[in-house]
Structure 1
Amino acid sequence: MKHTYTVTGMTCNGCRSSVEKALNSIKGIEAVVSLDPPIATLLMKDHIPLVQLQETLSKAGKYSISMESPTDTISETPNELPIKSCCSSNKPQEKSTVILPANAQGKYYCPMHCEGEKVYDKPGDCPVCGMDLVKAPELNIGKTLYTCPMHPEVIQEGPGSCPICGMDLVPMEPTESEENKVYNDLVRKMKIAVVFTVPVFLIAMSDMISNNPLMKIMEASKWNWVQLILSLPVVFYSCWMFFIRAYKSIITWNLNMFTLIGIGTGVAFLFSLVGMFFPDVFPNEFKTHNGTVSLYFEATTVILTLVLLGQLLEARAHSQTSGAIKELLKLAPTEATLVIDGADKVISIHDIKKGDLLRVKPGDKIPVDGKITDGESTIDESMISGEPIPVDKKIDDSVIAGTINGNKSFVMIAEKVGSETLLSQIVKMVNDASRSRAPIQKLADSIAKYFVPIVVVVSVLTFFVWAKFGPEPAMVYGFINAIAVLIIACPCALGLATPMSVMVGVGKGAQSGVLIKNAEALENMNKVNVLITDKTGTITEGKPSVEKVFSTNNDDDSLLQSIASLNQYSEHPLAQAVVNFAKAKKVSLIEVKDFEAISGKGVTGTVTNKKVALGNKKLMEQVNAAVSAELENQIIAEQKLGKTVSYISVDGIAVGFVSITDAIKPTSVEAIKELIRQGVEVIMLTGDNENTAKAVAQELHLSSYKAGCLPEDKLKEIKRLQSEGKIVAMAGDGINDAPALAQADIGIAMGTGTDVAIESAKITLVKGDLQGIVKAKNLSHAVMKNIKQNLFFAFFYNVLGIPIAAGVLYPFFGVLLSPMIAALAMSFSSVSVIANALRLRSLKL
Structure 2
Amino acid sequence: MENNNKHSPHKSPNSKKSDQKAYYCPMYCEGDKTYPNEGRCPVCNMYLVSGENTKKVCCDTHESDTKHSAHQHPKQGGKSTNPILKGNYYCPMFCEGDKTYEKHGDCPVCGMDLVKNQASQKTPLTYTCPMHPEVKRDKPGDCPKCGMALVPEKGQDESDEMKAYKKTKKKFWIAVVLSIPVFIIAMSDMISFLNLENVAPKKIWGWIEFALATPVVFYCSWSFFKRGWNSVRRWSPNMWTLISIGVGAAYVFSVFALLIPSSFPDQFKDGAGNVHLYFEAAAMILTLVLLGQVMELRAHGKTSSAIKELLDLTPPTAHVIKDGQEKEIPLEEVMEGDILRVKPGENIPVDGSIHSGNAVIDESMISGESIPVDKAENDKVTGGTVNGNTSFEMKAEKVGSDTLLSQIVALVNKASRSRAPIQKLADTVAKYFVQTVIAIAFVTFVIWATWGPEPAYVYAFVNAVAVLIIACPCALGLATPISIMVGTGKAAQLGVLVKDARAIEEMNKVTTLIIDKTGTLTQGKPSLNGYKSMGERSDEEVLLLAASVDLNSEHPIAEAIVQGAKEKNIEPMQLDKFESITGKGVQALYKGQVIALGNHRLMEGLGASPDESKQKLVKEWQLKGQTVMYLIIDKKVEGIVSVADKIKDTSAAAVASLQKMGIKVHMLTGDNQYTAKTVADELGLDGYEADCLPEDKYNQVKTLQGKGQIVAMAGDGINDAPALEQANIGIAMGTGTDIAMQSAEITLVKGDLNGIVRARELSHKVMRNIKQNLFFAFVYNALGVPVAAGILFPFFGVLLSPIIAAAAMSFSSVSVITNALRIRRL
Do both share a fold (TM > 0.5)?
yes
CA deviation vs aligned residue, 1:586-643 (integer Å, no higher than 9, x gap)? 1122231232111000111222333221111110011111211111100001101111
How far did residue 679 of structure 1 move? 1.0
**In the alignment, which residue of structure 2 is the partner of 1:535?**
517
User: Which of residues 47, 55, 60 in structure 2 aligns to 1:112?
Assistant: 47
Deviates more, 1:154-163 or 1:281-290: 154-163
Give the AA of the match of 1:585.
K
**In the alignment, which residue of structure 2 is the partner of 1:322?**
304
Deviates more, 1:758-767 or 1:160-169: 160-169
How far did residue 259 of structure 1 move? 0.4
How far did residue 141 of structure 1 move? 10
Q: Secondary structure at the match of 1:757?
A: helix
How far did residue 258 of structure 1 move? 0.7
CA distance in 2, matches of 1:465, 1:788: 35
User: Which of residues 640, 650, 659 in structure 1 aligns to 2:633?
Assistant: 650
User: Which of residues 751, 770, 777 in structure 2 aligns to 1:794?
Assistant: 777
How far did residue 158 of structure 1 move? 2.5
Q: Secondary structure at the match of 2:321?
A: strand
CA distance in 2, matches of 1:118, 1:615: 44
| Structure 1 portions without partners, runs of 5+ | 7-33, 41-56, 65-82, 97-109, 120-137
> What is the number of equivalent residue pairs in this alignment?
745
CA deviation vs aligned residue, 1:12-50 (integer Å, no higher than 9, x gap)? xxxxxxxxxxxxxxxxxxxxxx9xx5627xxxxxxxxxx
How far did residue 835 of structure 1 move? 0.3
User: Which of residues 134, 149, 164 in structure 1 aligns to 2:92?
Assistant: 149
Change (3 A) 1:87 1:788: closer
**In the alignment, which residue of structure 2 is the partner of 1:160?**
105
CA distance in 2, matches of 1:461, 1:748: 53
**In the alignment, which residue of structure 2 is the partner of 1:442?**
424
Could you tell me whether the CA contact under 8 Å between 1:528 and 1:728 is conserved in 2? yes
- 1:513 paired with 2:495, answer yes
CA distance in 2, matches of 1:355, 1:234: 59
Alignment RMSD (CA, Å): 2.2
| 1:509-588 correspondence to structure 2 within 5 Å | 509-552=491-534, 553=536, 555-588=538-571
Q: Secondary structure at the match of 2:513?
A: strand
How far did residue 3 of structure 1 move? 4.7
Q: Secondary structure at the match of 2:502?
A: helix
Give the AA of the match of 1:409.
S
Could you tell me whether the CA contact under 8 Å between 2:21 and 2:51 is conserved in 1? no
CA distance in 1, matches of 2:820, 2:413: 17
How far did residue 490 of structure 1 move? 2.1
- 1:268 paired with 2:213, answer no
- 1:748 paired with 2:731, answer yes
How far did residue 145 of structure 1 move? 2.5
CA deviation vs aligned residue, 1:415-449 (integer Å, no higher than 9, x gap)? 10000000000001001101110000000000000
How far did residue 226 of structure 1 move? 1.2
User: Which of residues 819, 822, 829 in structure 1 aligns to 2:802?
Assistant: 819
How far did residue 778 of structure 1 move? 0.4
Could you tell me whether the CA contact under 8 Å between 1:4 and 1:39 is conserved in 2? no
Could you tell me whether the CA contact under 8 Å between 2:24 and 2:49 is conserved in 1? no
Give the AA of the match of 2:803.
M
Could you tell me whether the CA contact under 8 Å between 2:20 and 2:53 is conserved in 1? yes
| 1:26-425 correspondence to structure 2 within 5 Å | 39=16, 85-86=25-26, 91-92=30-31, 112-117=47-52, 144-151=87-94, 153-173=98-118, 176-210=158-192, 213-425=195-407
Give the AA of the match of 1:538.
T
CA distance in 1, matches of 2:553, 2:711: 31
**In the alignment, which residue of structure 2 is the partner of 1:625?**
608
Q: Secondary structure at the match of 1:546?
A: strand
Q: Secondary structure at the match of 1:156?
A: coil
Give the AA of the match of 1:86.
P
- 1:780 paired with 2:763, answer yes
CA distance in 1, matches of 2:387, 2:446: 72
Could you tell me whether the CA contact under 8 Å between 1:535 and 1:686 is conserved in 2? yes
| 1:650-729 correspondence to structure 2 within 5 Å | 650-729=633-712
CA distance in 2, matches of 1:209, 1:717: 77
CA deviation vs aligned residue, 1:465-484 (integer Å, no higher than 9, x gap)? 11111111111111111100
How far did residue 530 of structure 1 move? 0.6
Q: Which structure has the higher relative contact order (CA within 8 Å, separation 6+)? A: 2
Deviates more, 1:156-165 or 1:236-245: 156-165
CA distance in 2, matches of 1:87, 1:591: 55
CA deviation vs aligned residue, 1:689-716 (integer Å, no higher than 9, x gap)? 0011011100011121000000010001
Give the AA of the match of 1:611.
V
Could you tell me whether the CA contact under 8 Å between 1:631 and 1:656 is conserved in 2? no
Give the AA of the match of 1:383.
M
Q: Secondary structure at the match of 1:243?
A: helix
CA deviation vs aligned residue, 1:763-796 (integer Å, no higher than 9, x gap)? 0000000111010000100000000000011001
Could you tell me whether the CA contact under 8 Å between 1:376 and 1:408 is conserved in 2? yes
Could you tell me whether the CA contact under 8 Å between 1:374 and 1:410 is conserved in 2? yes
Deviates more, 1:608-617 or 1:359-368: 608-617
**In the alignment, which residue of structure 2 is the partner of 1:132?**
none
Change (3 A) 1:391 1:2: closer
Give the AA of the match of 1:584.
E
Could you tell me whether the CA contact under 8 Å between 1:591 and 1:607 is conserved in 2? no
TM-score (norm 1): 0.85
How far did residue 5 of structure 1 move? 6.0
- 1:764 paired with 2:744, answer no
Change (3 A) 1:118 1:627: closer
| 1:721-740 correspondence to structure 2 within 5 Å | 721-740=704-723
CA deviation vs aligned residue, 1:703-735 (integer Å, no higher than 9, x gap)? 210000000100010111111111110000011
Change (3 A) 1:156 1:111: farther
CA distance in 2, matches of 1:608, 1:255: 78
Could you tell me whether the CA contact under 8 Å between 2:93 and 2:478 is conserved in 1? yes
CA distance in 2, matches of 1:94, 1:246: 31
How far did residue 211 of structure 1 move? 6.9
CA distance in 2, matches of 1:486, 1:141: 38
Give the AA of the match of 2:635.
G
Change (3 A) 1:181 1:684: same
Give the AA of the match of 1:231.
A
Change (3 A) 1:163 1:500: same
CA deviation vs aligned residue, 1:355-396 (integer Å, no higher than 9, x gap)? 111111111111110011111110000000000000000011
**In the alignment, which residue of structure 2 is the partner of 1:135?**
none
How far did residue 178 of structure 1 move? 2.0
How far did residue 314 of structure 1 move? 1.2
How far did residue 2 of structure 1 move? 5.8
CA deviation vs aligned residue, 1:333-357 (integer Å, no higher than 9, x gap)? 1111111112211111111111111
Give the AA of the match of 1:728.
V
Could you tell me whether the CA contact under 8 Å between 1:513 and 1:772 is conserved in 2? yes
Could you tell me whether the CA contact under 8 Å between 1:317 and 1:831 is conserved in 2? no
Could you tell me whether the CA contact under 8 Å between 2:21 and 2:50 is conserved in 1? no
Could you tell me whether the CA contact under 8 Å between 1:87 and 1:112 is conserved in 2? no
Could you tell me whether the CA contact under 8 Å between 2:92 and 2:417 is conserved in 1? yes
Q: Secondary structure at the match of 1:253?
A: coil
Q: Secondary structure at the match of 2:530?
A: strand
Q: Secondary structure at the match of 1:155?
A: coil
CA deviation vs aligned residue, 1:561-590 (integer Å, no higher than 9, x gap)? 111111001111100111101111111222
